[in-house]
Structure 1
Amino acid sequence: MQAPIPLTILTGFLGAGKTTLLNRLLQDPALADTVVIVNEFGEIGLDHLFIEAVDGDMVLLSSGCLCCTVRGDLVAALEDLLTKRDAGDISPFRRVLVETTGLADPAPILQAALSHPYLATRYAIDGVVTVVDALTGFATLDEHSEAVKQAAVADHIVFTKTDLLDETTQPTFERLKARISRLNPGAPLLDAAAGEADAAALLGAGPFDFAGKIPDVAAWLREEAYADANHGAHDHVHDERDQHAHDVNRHDARIRAFCLATDKPVPLAALDMFLTLLPSAHGAKLLRMKGIVHLAGQPERPLVIHGVQHVMHPPVALPAWPDADRRTRIVFITRDLDESFVRRMWDAFTGTPAIDTPDRAALMENPLSLRNG
């Protein structure tokens, strides 16, 4: 088995500055041996980079990046890259970076790599990078649910155009940062203008270390960031200017971010049932799920899980615990799915005592009878 190739998604709403960020990344030596998938070459402006043609859909950049366009299905493009790589027609790239269109929902792109029986064995999701305009981001979140979803599923948030802020726009930007932190407590906030959004900061954000080392799962989960996630914007209004951000009719109110943790080892059968039934019954509401699990009967090899809506990445057993913390921790980003519902289902299948837990025997007999709310 070959080691999986890390796949990073670069997304953000129209005009947020994805192209500017991508151009900067393409000149970074850290992206050598990387394939960058874009919609059209013209959109990223490659004129300032030395280009060598490979074929009609690919160009080789002076930095060592291979840039290719998607003329149809992304799955077909990812398969074609593997075919050419395995046949020796192109250099053996080590990473893939996919830039989405401004209106794209990143979830189907993640699902394409996770659900395809072949691609799931050759690629592994390394992270989602979402670009947000510091000047217009607040209004964009108000007006477009796609932008909210892009921010909610991100592993990193990159703010652009912060160098254009002034005393009149800075307060709105501060509210934007607070708002995104409530939507997605686990995503670090980076400032592109300050040089924080380089390849070292954005790549290698996933649950797997492709160099064969034990990954930094704690940095991937950022469990501590979710501790107070339910005590912020969804339930409280801090000032009148932020009132509309908390309106129950706004997009933000539909998003929940939380973490389940337990010291008790989890039986494999219970975990399997939970990971099967929750996505199958409520997959459309399950934007992201990721975690590390202490399995009963396998105390020294924790299991890393990662899912997007209906699709789960094949779980991976780490060779050892990454640190002294041996608790099971699972992070959820949901839309229209309450934490209490997910917690009750988890408690029912794992046997963890919980208040107001439905009868476990009845739930095991008819698990789909449990309804959100």
Structure 2
Amino acid sequence: MNSPSAQRIPVAVITGFLGSGKTTLVNAVLKKPACGQAAVVVSEYGEVGVDHVLIQAPSKRMRLVDGGCMCEYVHEEVAASLLNLLDRRVAGTETDFDRVLIETSGLGDPVPIIQMLQVDPEISRHFELRVVLTMADSLHALQHLDRYAQSIKQVAVADVLVLSKVDVAEPQAVEALSARLRTLNPGARQVRAAHGDLDARLLDGTPHQAGGSLAEVRQWLASEAFASPTADDRSPVRTFSLVHEGEATVPGLVLWQHLLSGFRGAGLLRVKGIVNVEGRPYAVHAVQTIVSEPVPLDQWPDDDRRSRMVFIVRGLDEQALRDTFAALRFEGGRDLRNMVIRPEVYARFRDTISLFRQRAPEPAEAASAR
């Protein structure tokens, strides 16, 4: 059981492709009063780390993870660094810290780190992922998005997209990048920065695993952003919203989320939205195979009582995902104090699973999605 958010240490994951300005931003943020006691974990690519030398934080609050994207277990190294910082956390300005900034490798996949922060029981007991912030270089990001799959994934999982180097890029180039990013991740907040100057309050965000506040849900479900499916013809990533008219059951939502992640996880870059669960609104959130616990909202964001979910996917068919909504009606099928399973309900359960299996990605497709 996680401790209350106020008792956990907030974490911001700062990602983005090579040269996008991550280190510059971290240094600028560390100078702000709100982040003066931050610890920093840097994941680098290559045998000789350089970025961590440039970070202007006390060495006692700095941890370097070697290997970057080349290390399959980099998320475990990051977890070990966080626990080491926690063990050494004592009173005093040099060793105490009140938040953590994790700078990922420019060539790395941030998803394993995001997953670790959400599901590792020891890490999630002490640390809380607040925001995933992705840097996009206004001079070169369009080329990176055309050439590198890592760059697309870094954009897709972001809560906040920071367009960097806006002081040296041509205004039309900045606008073109903004439009491209909106195609890939319409629900993310966009801000522009020069020399890493950023409002430190963006690092506090809304707890990433909580699915978002009412304001954030409204942003993700904005009709102007998702009036029609969006696709970038230069990449296999598509963004669209799907609507489910009927109410979901509690066991149906649990079944749908876990079957979705298990059978479709490789192609799900991001899922976010609101589900009508027996008349109550629940925020849902998933990043690839990691499904966050649905969070009940105090009220509906608008007068619409339908379930509405936004998908950012790679290599998945819109209709295939719509078909899986049948699982949301699953009742559980138990009688007599949960000791008897009705055969007809079990048959529906079996048929529901077949919806996922029939349209599951081929091995080659799943591999390309990674």
CA separation of 1:84/1:339 partners in 2, compared to 1, >3 Å: closer, same or farther?
farther
Contact 2:240 2:311 in 1 (8 A): yes
Count of matched residue pairs? 324
Amino acid at match of 1:157: L
Q: 1:351: Cα distance to partner?
A: 4.3
SS at match of 1:154: coil
- Provide closer, same or farther for how the CA distance between residues 163 and 339 of structure 1 changes in structure 2, counting only shifts above 3 A: same
In the alignment, structure 1 residue 217 sits paired with structure 2 residue 218 = no
Task: Measure the CA separation in 2 of the matches of 1:322 and 1:68.
Answer: 42
* CA–CA separation in structure 1 for the residues paired with 2:329 and 2:118: 29
Kept in 2, the 8 Å contact 1:363–1:369? The answer is no
Matched, 1:275 2:257: yes
- Is the contact between residue 190 and residue 196 of structure 1 (CA under 8 Å) also seen in structure 2? no
3-state SS of paired residue (2:18): coil
Q: Is residue 2:168 matched to residue 1:186? A: no
CA distance in 1, matches of 2:353, 2:185: 35
RMSD of the TM alignment (CA)?
3.3
2: distance between equivalents of 1:326 and 1:33? 43
Secondary structure of the residue aligned to 2:107 is coil
1:180 to partner: Cα distance: 1.3
Determine what percentage of the aligned residue pairs are the same residue.
34
Displacement of 1:306:
2.5
- In structure 1, the partner of 2:4 is 3
- Alpha-carbon distance between aligned partners in 2 of 1:311 and 1:361, rounded to the nearest angstrom: 22
Structure 2: gaps (5+ residues):
67-73, 331-346, 362-370
Q: Is this contact kept in 1: 2:24–2:195, CA < 8 A?
A: no
Match of 2:31 among 27, 44, 49: 27
Give the match for residue 237 of structure 1.
none
Conserved 8 A contact 1:286-1:335: yes
1:341 match: 320
1:43 is matched with 51
Q: SS of the counterpart of 1:200?
A: helix
Residues 326 and 13 of structure 1: CA distance in aligned 2, closer, same or farther (over 3 Å)? same
Q: Deviations over 1:69-121 (max 9, x none)?
A: 33571121223334444x77987644322100110111111112223233234
One-letter amino acid of the structure 2 residue matched with residue 350 of structure 1 = L
Asked if structure 1 preserves the Cα contact closer than 8 Å seen for 2:117 and 2:128, the reply is yes
Q: Is residue 62 of structure 2 the alignment partner of residue 67 of structure 1?
A: yes
User: Aligned pair in 2 of structure 1 residues 46, 149: CA closer, same or farther (>3 Å)?
Assistant: closer
Query: Could you say if the C-alpha distance between residues 91 and 270 of structure 1 is closer, same or farther in structure 2, counting changes exceeding 3 Å?
Result: farther
Q: Check the 8 A contact 2:212/2:283 in 1, yes or no.
A: no
Q: Please tell me the residue identity of whatever aligns with 1:153.
A: V
The TM-score with structure 2 as length reference comes to 0.75
**Any idea what the Cα deviations from partners look like across 1:31-75, whole Å, max 9, x if unmatched?**
24432212478525558x5x65xxxxx43xxxxxx4333357112
Per-residue deviation, residues 349-369 of structure 1 (Å, max 9, x unmatched): 1249xxxxxx96763263443
> Is the 2:263–2:357 contact (alpha carbons within 8 Å) kept by the matching residues of 1?
no
TM-aligned CA deviation for residue 345 of structure 1: 0.6
Q: Deviations over 1:277-330 (max 9, x none)?
A: 111111111112233333217x3xx43332221122334445x23755574433
Q: Aligned equivalents of 1:322 and 1:361: distance in 2?
A: 30
Partner in structure 2 of residue 228 of structure 1: 227
After superposition, residues 1-373 of structure 1 pair within 5 angstroms as 2-4=3-5, 5=8, 6-39=10-43, 43-44=51-52, 52=58, 58-59=59-60, 66-70=61-65, 73-85=77-89, 93-166=97-170, 170-193=171-194, 197-206=198-207, 216-219=213-216, 222-224=220-222, 226-230=225-229, 232-234=230-232, 246=233, 250=234, 252=235, 254-262=236-244, 264-296=246-278, 299=280, 302-318=281-297, 320-321=298-299, 323=301, 327=305, 328-346=307-325, 348-351=326-329, 363-364=351-352, 366-371=354-359
Contact 2:248 2:275 survives alignment (8 Å): yes
**Using the alignment, how far apart are the partners of 1:88 and 1:325 within structure 2?**
50
Residues in 1 aligned to 2:126 and 2:273: alpha-carbon distance in whole angstroms:
21
Q: Which runs of 5+ in 1 are unaligned?
A: 53-57, 60-65, 235-245, 353-358
Is 2:30–2:38's contact at 8 Å kept on the other side of the alignment?
no
Deviation (angstroms), 1:206: 3.6
* 2: CA distance, partners of 1:195 / 1:74: 24
CA–CA distance in structure 2, aligned partners of residues 177 and 337 of structure 1: 25
